[in-house]
Structure formats: structure tokens, C-alpha cells
Amino acid sequence: MSTTCSADPNVDAGGDGHVRTIGVVGTGVIGAGWAVRALARGHDVVAWDPAPGAAGRSG
């Protein structure tokens, strides 16, 4: 599995080639699941959900 993402494989993504921060858009069942998975593997997670009341929702 690749740890970097680029539309052009010939473009240097910068850094040391390791993903440290994961962004999650949508924190419903699927988004929250991805966030938990990333956190369990030691990544920082930035999550955002456009749904009204999402900030007060927890797992």
C-alpha cells in the first residue's frame, strides 16, 4: 500500500514519504471508522462534518 498520494507519480510529494495527518470529511459511521483506524495506527486526524449538530455527536 502506498503512503503518499499524487495525481502524477513523477511528482515528489515532499517530506519523508510517510503520511502523518489524515483528513476526514464526514464523521458518520464510515468517516468515524476511518478516523478511529488512523488514530489506532498513530496518525493525527483532522475531521470535519457539514451536517448540523455533528460537533455534538460522539461515537
Confidence (pLDDT) at 21: 94
**HEC string for 21-47:** EEEEECCCHHHHHHHHHHHHCCCEEEE
As a whole number, the mean pLDDT across the chain is: 79
Domain boundary assignment for the chain: 21-50
What is the rounded average pLDDT of the residues 26-45? Answer: 94
- 44 close to 20: Cβ distance less than 8 angstroms: yes
- Whether 11 shows a pLDDT value over 60: the answer reads no
- Whether 59 shows a pLDDT value over 50: the answer reads yes
pLDDT tens by residue, 38-57: 999 999 999 999 988 877 66
| Residue 40, C-beta contacts closer than 8 angstroms, at least 6 positions apart | none
Q: CA dihedral defined by 47, 56, 31, 33, rounded to 10 degrees?
A: 110
Q: Name the amino acid, one letter, at 42.
A: G
